[in-house]
Structure 1
Amino acid sequence: MAFNVQTFKTRATTAVVFVIIMLAGLLWNHWSFLILFSVVHFGCWVEYQKLIGLIDPEYQKITPIHKYGVMIAGWAFMLFMAGGGYTISNLPLHIIGKVLLLVSGVVLPIWLIFLTKDFSVKTLGYSLLGLLYISVSWGLMIGIRSTGLVAQGSHVFLDTGWIIPIILIASIWINDTMAYIVGSFIGKTPFSKISPKKTWEGTGGGALLCVAVVTLGGYYLFNIKDIATLIVISLIAAIVGTSGDLLESKLKRMAGVKDSGQLMPGHGGFLDRFDSLILATPFVWLYVILFSI
């Protein structure tokens, strides 16, 4: 394929803008983190509903109450997972999320089952899968971010909650990069029919290099002494993250589209950018809850 200067400029520009926005949201404070992933949450939902609608046209007929109600219910779970540092006028955000979650959890099913003529168990099932796939993951991400917040009232005294998310996101990026590089040089054996460009050599080499780079870099460059956590998170990013990429590729193939959306020209949509992180996050949350607190 001939090198296209304009395409390269477009991809490079959008990539730089994306990185700046991500770093600002991740590192500014815990509120910017919540805002960032709230936007990502709704963006993923819009694309998920579009893909499912292409796979099964019946889902395109869902009512606006159904369409947006599940998004609000999922966002309510994110607010529910917010820790003590998230407080508005002395009202903890997780209380607001709990109330909103209870209301949406009662009102939405009643509306869909009893007040909607075109109620379908199948379309409701698609939405429940979306809640598990998207909203639970981003809610658990907020939970991970909240574990490092030490707060009294609305004042945060200590904030280390950004460390684990940064390690995870960096691990996924490093794994993808290393897998691409290794696969480009020595990749010969196809890894999966779902994603023909992936090879066993690239996937395996990328995983090994991801663990090595994240562990050594975290220990020597950033003085993170918890080697076990560095190894576990980078392994999750490499193994589960790759599975997340394949899952989203399968959805796109079933829907007959190349990209899930047009968030970034040349890079795809929200699901394209966050597919690995969506699937890896619950496993990292489980590790944090069981072994790191």
Structure 2
Amino acid sequence: MKTFFTRTASALVFVAVMLGGILWADYTFFLLFFLIGCFALQEYFRLLRGIDADYAGVSSWHKWGATIAGAAILLTFTGDNFQIGGIPTGLIGWWTAVIFLLVMPLGEVLMSKDFSLKNIGYSAIGLLYVIIPFGLLIHIRMNAINIHYTPENVGTAPGWLIPLLLIIFIWINDTMAYIVGSLIGRTPFAPAISPKKTIEGTVGGMILAVATAGIYGHFWGYQYLALQHWIALALIAAIFGTIGDLIESKLKRMAGVKDSGRIMPGHGGFMDRFDSLLLAAPFAWIYVQFFMMH
């Protein structure tokens, strides 16, 4: 019972912080995903240290250099929306990222006892896998004015709409997959990675997520987003969100841990909460760029 209340309380706090950060303003949206990205990157590094002992020996310069580069990359996606001393934060982030990405390998050569390109590759993959997806969400939010939300582009949709919908569709897919799997799940989907996942639950979750998006989009959401966009975003969330969940589960199995972190009592770490978003966000961004931008 104590565990139930702990999980419930932390989930309510999590939802409140997420909604506040996403809905309040551009800068709170950026700060929210900036912090999530930086903390998730640290969890990725921790998983790597459990997977490959060689990575545990990287220098402090390497660890901090990769973290600062990740933070700078996230800042790059703000573009001209914020300024510090009259200088766009996107430009500050871009130059900082370039400097650290160029200097970090040199520092690794000079400061590490055993120089390894493999370790640099691990960190680079972390920036691509963890940081870039959150940066792309920030980019969608910051460039929302250039998005065609409806065929006629009538009415206005808030900039946070697409990122929030992506998160909601992932949640619906996960919830429905769990319910359907519990009721009729019989056939293991990926037993070596996630023994509890079933084909019936996975397919059922995807179908119900897309159906929910289609029904809501048809009857109530058409003034904000064209029906095909509701369906497409739900499909992206369901398909690539599921793959993203399996990828993180595989990493945890390789590292021999149950959770990526302990930031949320009863819910694990940042990567545990956003593993689906890490893969769904890039594909949602691609969809927005090719099918929704002016």
- 2:181 and 2:201 in contact (8 A); partners too: yes
- 1:84 and 1:146 in contact (8 A); partners too: no
Partner of 1:162: 160
- 2:38 and 2:131 in contact (8 A); partners too: no
Choose 68-77 or 275-284, whichever is displaced more: 68-77
Does 2:264 align with 1:276? no
Does 2:202 align with 1:203? yes
**How many residue pairs were aligned?**
282
Distance in 2, matches of 1:237 and 1:270, equals 18
Partner of 1:155: none
- 1:172 and 1:237 in contact (8 A); partners too: yes
Distance in 2, matches of 1:286 and 1:96, equals 25
2:177 equivalent among 179, 183, 191: 179
Does 2:59 align with 1:90? no
Helix, strand or coil at the partner of 2:194: coil
Distance in 2, matches of 1:253 and 1:77, equals 29
Q: Closer, same or farther in 2 for the Cα pair 1:159/1:93, shift >3 Å?
A: farther
Partner of 1:100: 96
Distance in 2, matches of 1:282 and 1:54, equals 27
TM-score (norm 1): 0.92
Distance in 2, matches of 1:44 and 1:159, equals 29
Residue by residue, what CA displacement relative to the aligned partner does 1:93-150 show, whole Å, maximum 9, x if unpaired? 1111111112112221222234544211111111111111011111111111112158
Superposed displacement of residue 159, structure 1: 7.9
Once the two structures are superposed, the pairs formed by residues 140-159 of structure 1 within 5 Å of their partners are 140-149=136-145
- 1:84 and 1:149 in contact (8 A); partners too: no
Residue by residue, what CA displacement relative to the aligned partner does 1:253-288 show, whole Å, maximum 9, x if unpaired? 011111111011111100100000011111011111
Unaligned runs of 5+ in 1: 151-157
Choose 221-230 or 283-292, whichever is displaced more: 221-230
Q: Closer, same or farther in 2 for the Cα pair 1:6/1:117, shift >3 Å?
A: closer
Superposed displacement of residue 89, structure 1: 4.0
Does 2:78 align with 1:79? no
Superposed displacement of residue 181, structure 1: 1.0
Helix, strand or coil at the partner of 2:93: helix
Partner of 2:213: 214
Partner of 1:229: 229
Q: Closer, same or farther in 2 for the Cα pair 1:214/1:83, shift >3 Å?
A: farther
CA RMSD after TM alignment: 1.6
Distance in 2, matches of 1:263 and 1:170, equals 21
Partner of 1:292: 292
Taking only the aligned residue pairs, the percentage that are identical comes to 49
What amino acid is aligned across from residue 163 of structure 2 in structure 1?
P
Residue by residue, what CA displacement relative to the aligned partner does 1:193-247 show, whole Å, maximum 9, x if unpaired? 2111111111001001101112222443344341111111110111100000000
